[in-house]
Structure 1
Amino acid sequence: MDKRPPIKTWAEAAPRLVAVAAGRAPADMVITGGTWVNVHSREILPAQDIAIAEGRFAYCGPDASHCIGDETEVLDADGLYLVPGLCDGHMHIESGMLTPAQFARAVIPHGTTTMFTDPHEIANVLGLRGVRLMHDEALLQPINIFTQMPSCAPSAPGLETTGHEITPEDVAEAMSWPGIVGLGEMMNFPGVVAGDGKMLAEIAATQAAGKTVGGHYASPDLGPAFHAYAAGGPADDHEGTREEDAIARVRQGMRAMLRLGSAWYDVESQITAITEKGLDPRNFILCTDDSHSGTLVEDGHMNRVVRHAIDCGCDPLVALQMATLNTATHFGLERELGSIAPGRRADVILTSDLRALPVHGVIARGRTVAVDGRITVETPHLDWPEDVRSTVHLGRTLAAADFEVPAPADAARVTARVIGVVENQAPTRALTADLPVRGTVDCDPENDIAQIALVERHRGTGGVVNAFVSGFGYGPGMAMASTVAHDSHHMIVVGTDREMMAAAANRLGEVGGGITVWKDGAELALVPLPIAGLMSDAPAEDVAAAASRMGEAMAACGCTLNNAYMQHSLLALVVIPELRISDKGLVDVTRFQLTDLFEAGPESGS
């Protein structure tokens, strides 16, 4: 199979581009009379024509009549802005619960024509093989999907066990693949700070290949540890949540990536570095990080992020630069994409309003791919192997007793460490709660304390780790289970009833992965995710509908959080503070150490 993107290189296309611009050859397409949004000069230029040949821009200027031949497709853009196709600077396709083909199908009508993706979710389940499958399907798409080779599987060695590990040798091999544009987010920031040889070897292999190293510094500490991380080589970071985070990154020569995902609202708190402090916006990039299928279908993708940035006070042209040219420049692709200019890939959005950004038409690589919210092209897919659809291995049928939390001897009540969910943010809080003992330690739904369990699902060990979580608002008699459990992707079960927790876990073992919600002995919702327990190859609309029913089921169980599923899926992410759960136990991420479930008692909970 030819793995090259289905577009000629600039060198291959250059003779014709020059001939078209000079009027010696006809263009394939000419867009006439549009208002050109020039992100290089930050200008709005009315009554402009754009000529396209070989999937690239050939002429951009006031009159392209000399480029029109008998076979040239002519589009009248009078009254419309011509905006470069939008770029997502950092995201995980798996978070959409979709394959690359289905994800592309979902976002193309919203004007996304380029994505820089990090498939570290599937890397944790299937290793380098899973990355290659994602990479190969990405290259089949009619838009630009570049892959960053995952850097950290496991994300925190010694604190979790993944299905597969990623090695420096894997990284070096992947750097030769045609669609690899860099190294995915370096989540093991304590390792970089400590000078860990494996992490530095991965960064060195990436830099030796002349590619970009993605960052992930999930700590509020901007002292020596942050400076050591910056010295370790990451070129960007999307984990900032405060204005001072964005400023610190840019001052250290990194690009600050401001994210708006389904549940991460980190643009408003950081964009003031531009709008109020006046920092150079060229070093800021917009991204989504994690967007689930419901957000994609109902609210949009990068067009949603740009609108939000504008609503937060950002100049529309600056916001568009942060979602186009800045992103392309960061990955060394400024001459290839990210703007409407000669030689670049012909990726264009036609819109009538730069603030609301309604997407009336999308052109990618010189052909129309969507009109008024309707996709007009195919998004080719792989035949995913059968074993990739059989990755949930529980080893046995689980019972309510597996979710019991033994109490310290002779204790009537205990003080337990509790994971505290923070709405619309990835970090959690390390809380404590006094919990009742009735033979075992029970959760306390009346005070918003539910039980959480991590069920091992890669090797069939039958292992279950139990702890407690607060913030979902769940009432009695419920459970929710998911095989999407960043980043090691075991199974997370949250509930207030142990029988329901066992039923939910066994259900996902039966269907091969996904998300299920149970209450009072019945299943309220199921989102099947058969591919690696992370994705579905069903259409985005079908997955979004199932995800919507899941959200309704969570609400019926008492949850009122915005996009609570995203918080649920990150409860095992042991590289973001403060408190998480893994297959090895409860993790204090502020110290990167395992910690006891009970504050002043013997080790328990597993």
Structure 2
Amino acid sequence: MIVVDIQIKDVSLFQTVTQKFLKKNVYIKKDKIYHISNVEEETIIANTIIDGQGLFMVPGLIDSHMHIESSMCTPENFSDAVLPFGVTTVIADAHEIGNVFGNEGLDYFMSAETELDIFHAIPSSVPSTTPSLETTGGIIGLGEVETLLRNPNVICLGEAMNFKGISYDRESLIAQIIRLVQEKRPTMPLEGHCPKIQGTELSDFLYSGISSDHTHQFPESLKERIENGVFVQLQAKSLTKENIAVIKENNFYEYVSIVTDDIMADELLDGHLDVNLRKAVECGLPIEKAIYMTTYTPARRMSLNDRGIIAPGKLADFILLDDLETFNIKTVYKKGRKVYGTDIGKQDKQDKQDKQDKKEYDYAYYPSHYFDTLSTRKLTLDDVTLKVETDLEKVRCQVIRKFEVGTFTEPITKEIPVIDGCLDWETADCSLLIVMERYGKNRNISYSLVEKPIDSKGAIGTTWAHDHHNIMIMGNTKQDLLKVQHELLDIKGGYCVSLNNDIIGSCPLPLGGIISTAPISILGLKVKEIRQSMRQLGYKNMNEIMSFSTLSLPVSPAIKVTDMGMLDTKTQEFYSLIHEEDGTLLNANTY
């Protein structure tokens, strides 16, 4: 007789090979699937028998591209948050903590003890461009990459974003990193970030060896990428009826996975990868294909050959659903142990909550200086008054126009009045956007204008500014700009919103200026407060927080801002705020 830990009787099992559900008996021994049969095996005795009638058994969900820091929480709290949503494995690209602390910060993130399996990508773009274009707290160069390559928990090269350096500069840092990875770990997947690139430019990018993309997809780009051998990872904004139709019509299921990329803490209150799975189904993807693209294709992409499929010898990571159509989760098992379920006892739930709440106050794990990272002074009225040298009553300015969908922007020209030698941006339907270097390295400060991003008098400020995470403030009144900048310093980093010179939303992120130690149940409500406050100001986007935070991302089309100025993200050339023939901005570029 063979003794196993669990038998699940007569369950509708998702068979990955056929992508169909069949009635089966599944036997689990320790942390692995032991045996699957059509009938009960008389020679196998189970310590626990689960009646699978009416239940559907699918593999645990695998997110092959995501960033824990986007949820603004620690890996431990992230693990507690996502396991109930059926997510059992993630591949995290911790380039945000890397941009703040370098490899030291990565070591803390990678050594976190979690029930969730967290594998890691090498942050390939710290900084996302070069130190001549943006200032970061940490830099990950060849030496740091070589160290990370020796870590068995590191399984891919994280999203390579510097298009110009990858495609046309063989001696750029990112090009050297790619060659080092190919030499030391030749089978390691190389992940890419290539929005709005097509034709020969796409080939130039792929020639480096990069073979995936997770950026905003459209039907034409999706088809072109897959036909050129790109493994596409679809995040929420790419899950459209049009994109799903391309996948179905061309039978592209093998070359696509569904990912989250960036999920905010308030969104984590309601779901994670399971939400995107359901969205894909709503857009026309058959549920069986959606399960396949959130379990097996990501596992295969990342060479995680011990999961993503329910079969003998594979990890017993699985979900029991009581409704397939709605993907309603009844129970989640991780390595053969129940980690979430409607039948978990009240005491088990209370113990888990007590453990989670305690983490909010567990600062000892991180060095004390991780909670004091804003090496800046408080701005004054003089700092937000833009002095101009010109004889003109109006000057032409380069202005940023943001879109209400996605994170794209475009450059436009506007005439701004000059009064008493100062740029009168407050009356010009513009907001002033300021980025301050906050690591104490050079005290850079840059000024730019954004075309009417908010309707009410107010300002938004954050240190969670992709990817350099310097201080970024934007507002349409001088007083509100000062209000949010002072608030950020007082809370040691985070997000805040001011309306009529009054703080209406504040979310402290004191760990490196980008992370909270609070559990998602608390942090999520604070982030929701920020989102609602931004909407109250009239900020419009499908994801207000990500839209604002990526105004500082110098690899996202088409014009973004760093502590060094406004940047054409394709040519990597800086714009002047004022057209040179019209005048000169006199404000210093350091504070």
Residue 131 (structure 1) aligned to one of 106, 109, 116: 106
Specify the code of the residue in structure 1 equivalent to 2:434.
Answer: A
Structure 2 equivalent of residue 480 of structure 1 = 460
- Provide the alpha-carbon RMSD of the alignment: 2.1
Structure 2 equivalent of residue 507 of structure 1 = 487
Structure 2 equivalent of residue 423 of structure 1 = 404
Taking a change above 3 Å as real, the CA distance of residues 488 and 326 of structure 1, as seen in their structure-2 partners, is same
What is the CA deviation profile of residues 459-509 of structure 1, one whole-angstrom value per residue up to 9, with x for unaligned ones?
164432111113633322x11110000011101101111122122112212
For the pair 1:389 / 2:375, whether they are aligned, the reply is no
Structure 1 equivalent of residue 256 of structure 2 = 284
Tell me the matched-pair count.
Answer: 569
For the 8 Å contact 2:258–2:293, the answer to whether it is kept is yes
Specify the code of the residue in structure 2 equivalent to 1:561.
Answer: N
Structure 1 equivalent of residue 126 of structure 2 = 153
What is the CA deviation profile of residues 122-143 of structure 1, one whole-angstrom value per residue up to 9, with x for unaligned ones?
1111001111111111xx2112
Deviation at residue 403 of structure 1 after TM alignment: 2.0
| Stretch of structure 1 that moved more, 126-135 or 506-515 | 506-515
Specify the code of the residue in structure 2 equivalent to 1:487.
Answer: D
Deviation at residue 366 of structure 1 after TM alignment: 0.8
Cα separation, 1, equivalents of 2:339 and 2:100:
33
SS at match of 1:410: coil
Structure 2 equivalent of residue 441 of structure 1 = 423
For the 8 Å contact 1:472–1:561, the answer to whether it is kept is no
What is the CA deviation profile of residues 438-479 of structure 1, one whole-angstrom value per residue up to 9, with x for unaligned ones?
3422335784x2221101111164432111113633322x11
What is the CA deviation profile of residues 237-265 of structure 1, one whole-angstrom value per residue up to 9, with x for unaligned ones?
111421122222222222011111xxx45
Pairs within 5 Å for 1:14-29:
24-29=1-6
Unaligned runs of 5+ in 1: 1-23
Specify the code of the residue in structure 1 equivalent to 2:313.
Answer: G
Cα separation, 2, equivalents of 1:373 and 1:146:
30
SS at match of 1:83: strand
Structure 1 equivalent of residue 10 of structure 2 = 33
Residue 339 (structure 1) aligned to one of 304, 309, 313: 309
Percent identical residues? 27
For the pair 1:302 / 2:273, whether they are aligned, the reply is yes
Structure 2 equivalent of residue 456 of structure 1 = 437
For the pair 1:314 / 2:285, whether they are aligned, the reply is yes
For the 8 Å contact 2:60–2:308, the answer to whether it is kept is yes
Cα separation, 2, equivalents of 1:248 and 1:196:
25
Cα separation, 2, equivalents of 1:306 and 1:203:
32
Structure 2 equivalent of residue 211 of structure 1 = 188
For the 8 Å contact 1:259–1:267, the answer to whether it is kept is no
Pairs within 5 Å for 1:91-490:
91-137=66-112, 140-157=113-130, 158-197=132-171, 198-207=173-182, 208-209=184-185, 210-218=187-195, 220-260=196-236, 264-276=237-249, 278-298=250-270, 300-333=271-304, 335-372=305-342, 383-394=365-376, 396-439=377-420, 440-443=422-425, 447=429, 449-459=430-440, 461-470=442-451, 472-476=453-457, 478-490=458-470
Deviation at residue 66 of structure 1 after TM alignment: 4.1
Deviation at residue 312 of structure 1 after TM alignment: 1.0
SS at match of 1:151: coil
Cα separation, 2, equivalents of 1:531 and 1:152:
21
For the 8 Å contact 2:13–2:56, the answer to whether it is kept is yes
For the 8 Å contact 1:455–1:462, the answer to whether it is kept is yes
Structure 2 equivalent of residue 18 of structure 1 = none
SS at match of 1:36: strand
Unaligned runs of 5+ in 2: none
For the 8 Å contact 1:182–1:206, the answer to whether it is kept is no
Cα separation, 1, equivalents of 2:343 and 2:78:
15
SS at match of 1:397: coil
Cα separation, 1, equivalents of 2:486 and 2:96:
22
Cα separation, 2, equivalents of 1:151 and 1:124:
11
For the 8 Å contact 2:409–2:559, the answer to whether it is kept is yes
Taking a change above 3 Å as real, the CA distance of residues 275 and 438 of structure 1, as seen in their structure-2 partners, is farther
Structure 2 equivalent of residue 78 of structure 1 = 53
For the 8 Å contact 1:32–1:49, the answer to whether it is kept is yes
For the 8 Å contact 2:483–2:502, the answer to whether it is kept is no
Cα separation, 2, equivalents of 1:360 and 1:62:
23
Specify the code of the residue in structure 1 equivalent to 2:269.
Answer: V
SS at match of 1:574: coil
Cα separation, 1, equivalents of 2:86 and 2:306:
18
Deviation at residue 414 of structure 1 after TM alignment: 2.5
For the 8 Å contact 1:109–1:373, the answer to whether it is kept is no
SS at match of 1:114: strand
Specify the code of the residue in structure 1 equivalent to 2:301.
Answer: H
Taking a change above 3 Å as real, the CA distance of residues 408 and 68 of structure 1, as seen in their structure-2 partners, is farther
Taking a change above 3 Å as real, the CA distance of residues 462 and 228 of structure 1, as seen in their structure-2 partners, is closer
Deviation at residue 392 of structure 1 after TM alignment: 1.4
What is the CA deviation profile of residues 45-65 of structure 1, one whole-angstrom value per residue up to 9, with x for unaligned ones?
12x122112211111232354
Cα separation, 1, equivalents of 2:367 and 2:43:
47
Deviation at residue 590 of structure 1 after TM alignment: 3.0
What is the CA deviation profile of residues 534-560 of structure 1, one whole-angstrom value per residue up to 9, with x for unaligned ones?
111101011111111112222222234
Structure 1 equivalent of residue 510 of structure 2 = 530
For the pair 1:89 / 2:64, whether they are aligned, the reply is yes
Cα separation, 1, equivalents of 2:148 and 2:43:
41
SS at match of 1:524: strand
Q: Structure 1-normalised TM-score? A: 0.89
What is the CA deviation profile of residues 101-131 of structure 1, one whole-angstrom value per residue up to 9, with x for unaligned ones?
1111111111111111100001111001111
Specify the code of the residue in structure 1 equivalent to 2:531.
Answer: G
What is the CA deviation profile of residues 401-453 of structure 1, one whole-angstrom value per residue up to 9, with x for unaligned ones?
21222334123222222222222312222223222333422335784x22211
Cα separation, 2, equivalents of 1:112 and 1:471:
40
Deviation at residue 37 of structure 1 after TM alignment: 1.1
What is the CA deviation profile of residues 320-372 of structure 1, one whole-angstrom value per residue up to 9, with x for unaligned ones?
11111000000111x21111111111111111333321111111111111114
Specify the code of the residue in structure 2 equivalent to 1:360.
Answer: K
Specify the code of the residue in structure 2 equivalent to 1:155.
Answer: S
| Stretch of structure 1 that moved more, 348-357 or 489-498 | 348-357
Deviation at residue 268 of structure 1 after TM alignment: 4.4
For the 8 Å contact 1:445–1:473, the answer to whether it is kept is no
Cα separation, 2, equivalents of 1:131 and 1:267:
34
SS at match of 1:154: coil
For the 8 Å contact 1:30–1:64, the answer to whether it is kept is no
